[in-house]
Amino acid sequence: MSEREVLPEWPLFGMTDDVRPTLQQVREAGLACTLATLTAVEGGGPRPVGTQMVFAPGFVAGYFSGGCVESDVADHAYACLADGEPRTLVYGDGSPWPDIQLLCGARIEIFLERLAPDDRALAELLDAHRDRRPVVWVSDGVARECAEDLSPWPEALVVRRHEPTPRLIVVGGDPTALAIAQLGAQSELETTLVRPKGPSGGPPIPNIGYSRAEPAEAFAAIGVDAWTAIAIATHDLETDRSALRAALPSAASYVGLLGARRRIADRLAPLRAEGAPESALAKLRAPIGLDIGGKAPWEVAVSVIGEIMALRYARDSGSTSTTLPASAA
């Protein structure tokens, strides 16, 4: 059996939700790993079906319960790594380990499968991640496939759709724009700050890109798709208009504008005069962010990232947080 590594006392590994970057690192290191997937949840568990963890020597990412089962899952993951046999773990009602219980009282099932570094499905998953293509991962633990359009076979135990990493483009350079960019990066959004004619060096914030180009040029270079959110947070009328002109007709799923409600008409008037369709203008969320009442940089950042997240997980709930404001039209 592969030597079982003790999980860190502080589970920072659990702050990683998307395990694909870790899978890439493990593969580049030439290592096999165990991919663990949550396949069933009963009774309101802390993580949804499809949540994943990765275990390999020197690597661990993801979490299922916040500490109730992870250590035991790691034991089984290293056993899977050693013998290559897939297995299903059950915790809660019907579990062979009744002493391991989730504090929330849920019942969960977790499927473990060993992935070799040359696994064909793993290669396709990581290629799609790099190319920003949505794919479906289907596996029974022995046979597995990964493709953009894939139907599961009867024996398949894992059917997991992987979408491109959510992307955030922040236009601006003041403390509020910096706070939005920093919180976006910390929230696992692929983040770029755009500050036209800004300083030659980017801001000292980890894990964000930087562009000094005008918005249209910057957006084209970064790439705007359906998994992209654009937050326009400047205090310059012309930059706002330039950014809106490029952002609103784009494929971006979210376009937000910082500023008072009374300023919105001034920013949209030239676009209307240029013939921008109302359907594009109606996509704008302004004033930007959820209405949480705060105006300090971090408060605005929380409201913006919160709104982006709310829209990503929006359901037909009638919540005002996922309904376009009438002022956007």
pLDDT digits 0-9 by tens, 299-313: 999 999 999 999 988
The average pLDDT across 113-117 equals 98
Between CA 26 and CA 4 the distance in angstroms is: 16
- The confidence score (pLDDT) of residue 77 equals 97
Distance from chain centroid for Cα 140: 26
Asked: is 167-328 a CATH 3.40.50.2300 domain? The reply is: no
Q: Where in the chain is the domain with CATH 3.40.50.720?
A: 167-328
Q: Is 189 exposed, middle or buried (0-12, 13-18, 19+ CB in 10 A)?
A: buried
Between CA 13 and CA 276 the distance in angstroms is: 45
pTM assigned to the model: 0.89
- The confidence score (pLDDT) of residue 6 equals 87
How many other C-beta atoms can be found within 10 angstroms of the C-beta atom of residue 81? 22
Is 321's pLDDT higher than 60? no
Between CA 148 and CA 127 the distance in angstroms is: 12
- The confidence score (pLDDT) of residue 157 equals 96
| Mean pLDDT for all residues in the chain | 90
The average pLDDT across 309-328 equals 56
Is 191's pLDDT higher than 90? yes
Least confident of 60-64, 70-74, 152-156, 280-284: 280-284
Is 328's pLDDT higher than 50? no
Is 322's pLDDT higher than 70? no
Distance from chain centroid for Cα 81: 27
- Is 56 or 98 the better-scoring residue by pLDDT? 56
Contact (Cβ atoms closer than 8 angstroms) between residue 114 and residue 140: no
The average pLDDT across 90-100 equals 81
Between CA 112 and CA 212 the distance in angstroms is: 45
Nearest residue to 302 (alpha-carbon basis) of 291, 312, 311: 291
Is 315's pLDDT higher than 80? no
Is 54's pLDDT higher than 50? yes
Is 194's pLDDT higher than 50? yes
Is 327's pLDDT higher than 70? no
Q: How confident is the model at residue 26 (pLDDT cuts 50, 70, 90)?
A: very high
- The confidence score (pLDDT) of residue 3 equals 63
Is 195's pLDDT higher than 80? yes
| Tokens encoding 243 | 């950014």
- The confidence score (pLDDT) of residue 277 equals 81
For the chain, the three-class secondary structure string (H helix, E strand, C coil) is CCCCCCCCCCCHHHHCCCCHHHHHHHHHCCCCEEEEEEEEEECCCCCCCCCEEEEECCEEECCCCCCCCHHHHHHHHHHHHHHCCCEEEEECCCCCCCCCCCCCCCEEEEEEEEECCCCHHHHHHHHHHHHCCCEEEEECCCCEEEECCCCCCCCCCEEEEECCCCEEEEECCCHHHHHHHHHHHHCCCEEEEECCCCCCCCCCCCCEEEECCCHHHHHHHHCCCCCEEEEECCCCHHHHHHHHHHHCCCCCCEEEECCCHHHHHHHHHHHHHCCCCHHHHCCEECCCCCCCCCCCHHHHHHHHHHHHHHHHCCCCCCCHHHCCCHHHC
pLDDT digits 0-9 by tens, 224-269: 999 999 999 998 889 999 999 999 999 999 999 998 787 788 778 8
- The confidence score (pLDDT) of residue 93 equals 82
Nearest residue to 301 (alpha-carbon basis) of 288, 319, 315: 288
Is 276's pLDDT higher than 90? no
- The confidence score (pLDDT) of residue 303 equals 97
